[in-house]
Protein backbone atom coordinates (compact mmCIF):
# COMPACT_ATOMS: atom_id res chain seq x y z
CA UNK A 1 0.00 0.00 0.00
CA UNK A 2 1.30 3.44 -0.94
CA UNK A 3 1.02 5.94 1.91
CA UNK A 4 1.23 9.71 1.91
CA UNK A 5 2.91 11.56 4.76
CA UNK A 6 1.77 14.89 6.15
CA UNK A 7 4.18 17.84 6.23
CA UNK A 8 4.44 17.33 10.01
CA UNK A 9 5.36 13.66 9.54
CA UNK A 10 8.01 14.53 6.95
CA UNK A 11 9.47 16.99 9.46
CA UNK A 12 9.61 14.17 12.01
CA UNK A 13 11.41 11.96 9.47
CA UNK A 14 14.24 14.48 9.21
CA UNK A 15 15.72 13.20 12.49
CA UNK A 16 16.23 9.73 11.03
CA UNK A 17 17.54 11.17 7.78
CA UNK A 18 20.03 13.40 9.54
CA UNK A 19 21.28 10.55 11.72
CA UNK A 20 21.77 8.22 8.74
CA UNK A 21 23.64 10.98 6.88
CA UNK A 22 25.91 11.66 9.87
CA UNK A 23 26.69 7.97 10.39
CA UNK A 24 27.60 7.45 6.72
CA UNK A 25 29.86 10.50 6.89
CA UNK A 26 31.62 9.07 9.95
CA UNK A 27 31.88 5.60 8.45
CA UNK A 28 33.33 6.98 5.21
CA UNK A 29 35.95 8.88 7.15
CA UNK A 30 36.79 5.73 9.13
CA UNK A 31 37.23 3.62 5.98
CA UNK A 32 40.98 3.45 5.46
CA UNK A 33 43.45 0.90 4.18
CA UNK A 34 43.68 -1.90 6.75
CA UNK A 35 40.33 -1.19 8.42
CA UNK A 36 38.25 -4.35 8.86
CA UNK A 37 34.66 -4.45 7.60
CA UNK A 38 33.59 -5.92 10.93
CA UNK A 39 35.05 -2.88 12.69
CA UNK A 40 32.96 -0.58 10.48
CA UNK A 41 29.86 -2.57 11.40
CA UNK A 42 30.79 -2.38 15.09
CA UNK A 43 31.21 1.41 14.82
CA UNK A 44 27.79 1.71 13.20
CA UNK A 45 26.34 -0.46 15.97
CA UNK A 46 27.84 1.79 18.66
CA UNK A 47 26.44 4.90 17.00
CA UNK A 48 22.98 3.31 16.80
CA UNK A 49 23.03 2.45 20.50
CA UNK A 50 24.28 5.92 21.45
CA UNK A 51 21.44 7.54 19.49
CA UNK A 52 18.79 5.15 20.79
CA UNK A 53 17.89 4.22 17.20
CA UNK A 54 16.90 0.79 15.86
CA UNK A 55 18.66 -1.05 13.06
CA UNK A 56 16.53 -1.99 10.05
CA UNK A 57 19.01 -4.69 9.03
CA UNK A 58 19.99 -6.87 11.96
CA UNK A 59 16.79 -8.96 12.06
CA UNK A 60 15.88 -8.40 8.40
CA UNK A 61 15.01 -11.68 6.65
CA UNK A 62 13.29 -11.21 3.27
CA UNK A 63 12.72 -14.01 0.79
CA UNK A 64 15.98 -13.29 -1.04
CA UNK A 65 18.13 -13.59 2.10
CA UNK A 66 19.22 -17.01 3.37
CA UNK A 67 18.90 -16.00 7.05
CA UNK A 68 18.43 -12.89 9.18
CA UNK A 69 21.08 -10.37 8.09
CA UNK A 70 22.68 -10.24 11.54
CA UNK A 71 24.62 -6.97 11.01
CA UNK A 72 23.66 -3.28 11.04
CA UNK A 73 25.58 -2.16 7.94
CA UNK A 74 25.89 -3.37 4.35
CA UNK A 75 29.54 -3.34 3.21
CA UNK A 76 29.90 -4.11 -0.50
CA UNK A 77 33.48 -4.16 -1.81
CA UNK A 78 34.69 -4.19 -5.42
CA UNK A 79 32.55 -6.76 -7.31
CA UNK A 80 29.91 -6.79 -4.54
CA UNK A 81 27.03 -4.66 -5.77
CA UNK A 82 24.40 -4.84 -3.02
CA UNK A 83 23.61 -6.32 0.40
CA UNK A 84 27.25 -6.90 1.26
CA UNK A 85 27.36 -8.89 4.50
CA UNK A 86 30.28 -7.65 6.63
CA UNK A 87 32.99 -10.27 7.15
CA UNK A 88 36.58 -10.50 8.32
CA UNK A 89 38.19 -8.48 5.54
CA UNK A 90 40.71 -5.62 5.78
CA UNK A 91 40.14 -2.89 3.19
CA UNK A 92 42.99 -2.81 0.66
CA UNK A 93 44.45 0.12 -1.26
CA UNK A 94 42.24 0.89 -4.25
CA UNK A 95 39.16 -0.96 -3.03
CA UNK A 96 35.79 0.40 -4.19
CA UNK A 97 33.58 0.38 -1.11
CA UNK A 98 29.81 0.86 -0.90
CA UNK A 99 28.13 1.38 2.48
CA UNK A 100 24.35 1.07 2.86
CA UNK A 101 22.73 2.03 6.17
CA UNK A 102 19.11 2.21 7.36
CA UNK A 103 17.68 2.82 10.81
CA UNK A 104 14.49 3.81 12.56
CA UNK A 105 14.52 6.88 14.82
CA UNK A 106 11.39 7.56 16.86
CA UNK A 107 9.49 5.15 14.61
CA UNK A 108 10.53 6.69 11.28
CA UNK A 109 12.97 5.07 8.85
CA UNK A 110 15.68 6.59 6.65
CA UNK A 111 17.89 4.69 4.20
CA UNK A 112 20.97 5.84 2.31
CA UNK A 113 24.11 4.52 0.60
CA UNK A 114 27.44 5.89 -0.56
CA UNK A 115 30.29 4.58 -2.73
CA UNK A 116 33.93 5.68 -2.66
CA UNK A 117 37.45 4.42 -3.30
CA UNK A 118 39.86 3.88 -0.40
CA UNK A 119 43.45 4.83 -1.17
CA UNK A 120 44.67 4.99 -4.76
CA UNK A 121 41.71 5.11 -7.19
CA UNK A 122 41.34 3.61 -10.61
CA UNK A 123 40.01 6.07 -13.20
CA UNK A 124 37.33 3.61 -14.29
CA UNK A 125 36.09 3.31 -10.70
CA UNK A 126 35.81 7.08 -10.35
CA UNK A 127 33.88 7.24 -13.63
CA UNK A 128 31.53 4.50 -12.43
CA UNK A 129 30.85 6.23 -9.11
CA UNK A 130 30.36 9.59 -10.82
CA UNK A 131 27.84 8.09 -13.25
CA UNK A 132 25.92 6.45 -10.40
CA UNK A 133 25.82 9.75 -8.52
CA UNK A 134 24.59 11.59 -11.64
CA UNK A 135 21.88 8.95 -12.05
CA UNK A 136 20.80 9.52 -8.46
CA UNK A 137 20.71 13.29 -8.96
CA UNK A 138 18.63 12.86 -12.11
CA UNK A 139 16.21 10.55 -10.32
CA UNK A 140 15.82 13.00 -7.45
CA UNK A 141 15.20 15.90 -9.83
CA UNK A 142 12.39 13.90 -11.45
CA UNK A 143 10.68 13.28 -8.08
CA UNK A 144 8.30 16.21 -8.40
CA UNK A 145 4.50 16.44 -8.16
CA UNK A 146 2.90 15.91 -11.55
CA UNK A 147 5.51 13.41 -12.69
CA UNK A 148 5.21 9.63 -12.38
CA UNK A 149 7.37 6.83 -11.03
CA UNK A 150 8.41 6.05 -14.59
CA UNK A 151 9.93 9.51 -14.91
CA UNK A 152 12.31 8.73 -12.03
CA UNK A 153 13.19 5.36 -13.56
CA UNK A 154 13.71 6.83 -17.03
CA UNK A 155 15.96 9.58 -15.65
CA UNK A 156 18.17 7.05 -13.85
CA UNK A 157 18.33 4.65 -16.79
CA UNK A 158 19.03 7.45 -19.25
CA UNK A 159 22.08 8.64 -17.34
CA UNK A 160 23.35 5.07 -16.99
CA UNK A 161 23.06 4.29 -20.69
CA UNK A 162 24.50 7.65 -21.75
CA UNK A 163 27.48 6.86 -19.51
CA UNK A 164 27.99 3.48 -21.17
CA UNK A 165 26.51 1.19 -18.51
CA UNK A 166 23.69 -1.33 -18.68
CA UNK A 167 21.07 -1.48 -15.93
CA UNK A 168 19.79 -4.30 -13.74
CA UNK A 169 16.20 -3.73 -12.57
CA UNK A 170 15.94 -6.64 -10.09
CA UNK A 171 16.52 -4.25 -7.18
CA UNK A 172 15.78 -0.54 -7.01
CA UNK A 173 14.14 2.19 -5.00
CA UNK A 174 11.28 1.66 -2.56
CA UNK A 175 8.85 3.36 -0.27
CA UNK A 176 10.16 4.41 3.15
CA UNK A 177 8.15 5.21 6.25
CA UNK A 178 7.45 3.17 9.35
CA UNK A 179 9.30 0.27 7.69
CA UNK A 180 12.35 0.14 5.45
CA UNK A 181 10.81 -1.39 2.34
CA UNK A 182 7.34 -0.47 1.12
CA UNK A 183 5.48 0.64 -1.96
CA UNK A 184 6.10 1.99 -4.49
CA UNK A 185 8.93 0.06 -6.12
CA UNK A 186 11.13 2.31 -8.26
CA UNK A 187 13.07 0.44 -10.96
CA UNK A 188 16.38 1.92 -12.12
CA UNK A 189 15.18 2.01 -15.71
CA UNK A 190 11.81 2.50 -17.32
CA UNK A 191 9.58 4.64 -19.51
CA UNK A 192 8.67 8.18 -18.65
CA UNK A 193 5.07 9.27 -18.01
CA UNK A 194 4.17 5.77 -16.80
CA UNK A 195 3.36 4.34 -13.41
CA UNK A 196 2.02 5.79 -10.17
CA UNK A 197 1.58 9.58 -10.19
CA UNK A 198 3.85 11.48 -7.81
CA UNK A 199 2.05 13.49 -5.14
CA UNK A 200 3.22 15.58 -2.22
CA UNK A 201 3.61 13.31 0.81
CA UNK A 202 5.30 10.40 -0.94
CA UNK A 203 8.58 9.38 0.71
CA UNK A 204 10.86 6.84 -0.89
CA UNK A 205 14.46 5.78 -1.35
CA UNK A 206 15.98 6.26 -4.78
CA UNK A 207 18.98 3.96 -5.28
CA UNK A 208 20.80 3.48 -8.57
CA UNK A 209 23.54 0.87 -8.71
CA UNK A 210 25.76 0.10 -11.67
CA UNK A 211 28.46 -2.38 -12.63
CA UNK A 212 31.35 -1.83 -15.02
CA UNK A 213 30.69 -4.39 -17.72
CA UNK A 214 27.55 -6.38 -16.90
CA UNK A 215 24.00 -6.07 -15.64
CA UNK A 216 23.88 -9.61 -14.25
CA UNK A 217 24.40 -10.62 -10.62
CA UNK A 218 24.64 -13.74 -8.48
CA UNK A 219 24.30 -14.39 -4.75
CA UNK A 220 27.47 -15.12 -2.80
CA UNK A 221 27.76 -18.24 -0.65
CA UNK A 222 27.07 -16.04 2.40
CA UNK A 223 23.44 -15.99 1.22
CA UNK A 224 23.27 -12.19 1.04
CA UNK A 225 25.99 -10.42 -0.92
CA UNK A 226 25.06 -9.79 -4.55
CA UNK A 227 28.08 -9.81 -6.86
CA UNK A 228 28.57 -8.91 -10.51
CA UNK A 229 28.40 -11.95 -12.76
CA UNK A 230 31.72 -11.17 -14.47
CA UNK A 231 33.67 -9.94 -11.46
CA UNK A 232 33.58 -6.29 -12.52
CA UNK A 233 33.28 -3.60 -9.90
CA UNK A 234 30.04 -2.00 -8.75
CA UNK A 235 28.82 1.31 -7.35
CA UNK A 236 25.68 1.97 -5.29
CA UNK A 237 24.29 5.29 -4.04
CA UNK A 238 20.97 6.08 -2.36
CA UNK A 239 18.98 8.84 -0.70
CA UNK A 240 15.65 8.99 1.10
CA UNK A 241 13.55 11.63 -0.66
CA UNK A 242 10.25 13.30 0.20
CA UNK A 243 8.00 14.67 -2.53
CA UNK A 244 6.65 18.07 -1.49
CA UNK A 245 4.59 20.77 -3.19
CA UNK A 246 7.86 22.66 -3.68
CA UNK A 247 9.66 19.68 -5.21
CA UNK A 248 11.88 16.86 -3.90
CA UNK A 249 13.55 17.16 -0.49
CA UNK A 250 16.51 14.90 0.29
CA UNK A 251 16.11 13.77 3.91
CA UNK A 252 19.48 12.00 4.02
CA UNK A 253 21.60 14.76 2.50
CA UNK A 254 25.14 14.72 3.85
CA UNK A 255 27.11 17.86 4.71
CA UNK A 256 29.53 18.83 1.96
Q: What is the pLDDT of residues 147-200, one digit of tens each?
A: 999 999 999 999 999 999 999 999 999 999 999 999 999 999 999 999 999 999
Q: Residue 8 contacts by C-beta under 8 Å, 6 or more apart in sequence?
A: none
Q: What is the average per-residue pLDDT within 126-141? A: 98
- CB-based contact 233:79 (threshold 8 Å): yes
pLDDT over 90 (residue 249): yes
What percentage of the chain reaches a pLDDT higher than 90?
97
The pLDDT of residue 43 is 98
Measure the CA–CA gap between 125 and 28, rounded to whole angstroms. 17
Domains of the chain: 7-250 (3.90.230.10)
Tell me which of 64 and 28 has the higher pLDDT: 28
The pLDDT of residue 56 is 98
Q: Give the confidence band of 117 by pLDDT, cuts at 50, 70, 90.
A: very high
Q: What is the average per-residue pLDDT within 212-221? A: 98
Closest CA to 139 of 154, 161, 160: 154
Mean per-residue pLDDT of the chain: 97
Q: In whole angstroms, what separates CA 236 from the centre of its chain?
A: 6
- CB-based contact 128:212 (threshold 8 Å): yes
Q: What is the average per-residue pLDDT within 78-86? A: 98
Measure the CA–CA gap between 91 and 20, rounded to whole angstroms. 22
The pLDDT of residue 256 is 73
Q: What is the average per-residue pLDDT within 70-83? A: 98
Measure the CA–CA gap between 225 and 75, rounded to whole angstroms. 9
Q: What is the average per-residue pLDDT within 33-50? A: 98
pLDDT over 90 (residue 67): yes
Q: What is the average per-residue pLDDT within 72-81? A: 98
What percentage of the chain reaches a pLDDT higher than 70?
100
Q: Are strands 209-211 and 203-206 parallel, antiparallel or unpaired?
A: unpaired
DSSP letter (8 states) at residue 36: B
Amino acid sequence: MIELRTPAEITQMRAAGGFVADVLTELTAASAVGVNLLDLDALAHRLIRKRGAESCYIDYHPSFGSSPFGKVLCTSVNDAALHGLPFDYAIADGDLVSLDFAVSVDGWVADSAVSFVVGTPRDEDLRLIAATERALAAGIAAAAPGNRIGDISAAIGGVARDSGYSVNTDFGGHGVGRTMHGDPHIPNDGRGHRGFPLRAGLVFAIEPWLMHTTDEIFTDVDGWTLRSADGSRASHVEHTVAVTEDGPVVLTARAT
